[in-house]
Amino acid sequence: MADISVNYLGLTLKNPLIVGSCGLTGSLENIKQMEKNGAAAVVLKSIFEEEILVETENKIKEAKKDSLIYSELSETLDYVDLHTKEENLKNHLKLIRDAKKETLIPIIASINCVTDSEWTDFAVKIQEAGADALELNLFLNPTNTLDKDPEKSAIKIIKKVLKTVSIPVAVKMSN
C-alpha cells in the first residue's frame, strides 16, 4: 500500500484526511467514529467566547427577573458570569482530554474569542488539556468601526498566542 502520510503543523498524519471544525466534532462518540472511518486528525468544534457571553447575558437576565433582593444581585451576577465561562470551558477541556485518552489521532482545538485576554487564557488551558495543536478562528469584521486596522489586530492576537503556547498554531481567518 502506498504511503500517503502527510505533515500538518509539524504533526505526522497517516493520510491527509482532517475533519474540520463543525458540530459533528463536538462529541467524543463522533470523534471516535471519525477515527474508525479513517480520519487522520480532528479539529474540534470551535469554542466561541461570544456564545459564552450571550449565554451569560441570558442567565443574568433570568437572575434579574427572578431576584427578590436586587441589591444582592451584583455578587450573583459576577458569579453567574464566572461560572458560565468556567463551565463552558471545563466541558471543552474535558472533550479534549477524553478524545486524547480514547483515540490515537491528533486532536486540534479551535477557539474564537472577542476579548484580547481570552485568546491567551483559552489557549493555555487548551494546551494544558493535551490538545496536539490549536486553530485560531479569527473573524475580521469589516463593519467594526472601532478597529481601524483589523489585520494589525489579528497579527497582534496571533503573536500573543504564539508567545503563550508551545503547541502548533494554525490560523483560520474569515470576514
What is residue 135's three-state secondary structure? strand
Weakest mean pLDDT among 17-31, 33-47, 73-87: 73-87
pLDDT category at 34 given cuts 50, 70, 90 is very high
* Continuous segment of H or E residues that includes residue 33: helix 28-36
Lowest-pLDDT range of 6-15, 43-52, 84-93, 152-161: 43-52
pLDDT of 53 over the 60 cut? no
Global pTM?
Answer: 0.80
Who wins on pLDDT, 156 or 151?
156
* Mean pLDDT confidence for 2-20: 97
Residue 77 phi, psi (nearest 5) = -65, -40
- What whole-number distance in Å separates Cα of residue 168 and Cα of residue 80? 33
- Mean pLDDT value across residues 156-163: 95
* Structural domains of the chain, with CATH: 6-174 (3.20.20.70)
pLDDT tens digit sequence for 110-136: 998 777 778 899 999 999 999 999 999
Q: What is the pLDDT of residues 82-109, one digit of tens each?
A: 555 677 789 999 999 999 999 999 999 9
> Amino acid identity, residue 15?
N
Q: What is the DSSP letter of 134?
A: E
Average pLDDT, the chain: 83
If 0-12 CB within 10 Å is exposed, 13-18 middle and 19+ buried, where does residue 135 land? buried
Specify the pairing of strand 6-8 against strand 11-13.
Answer: antiparallel
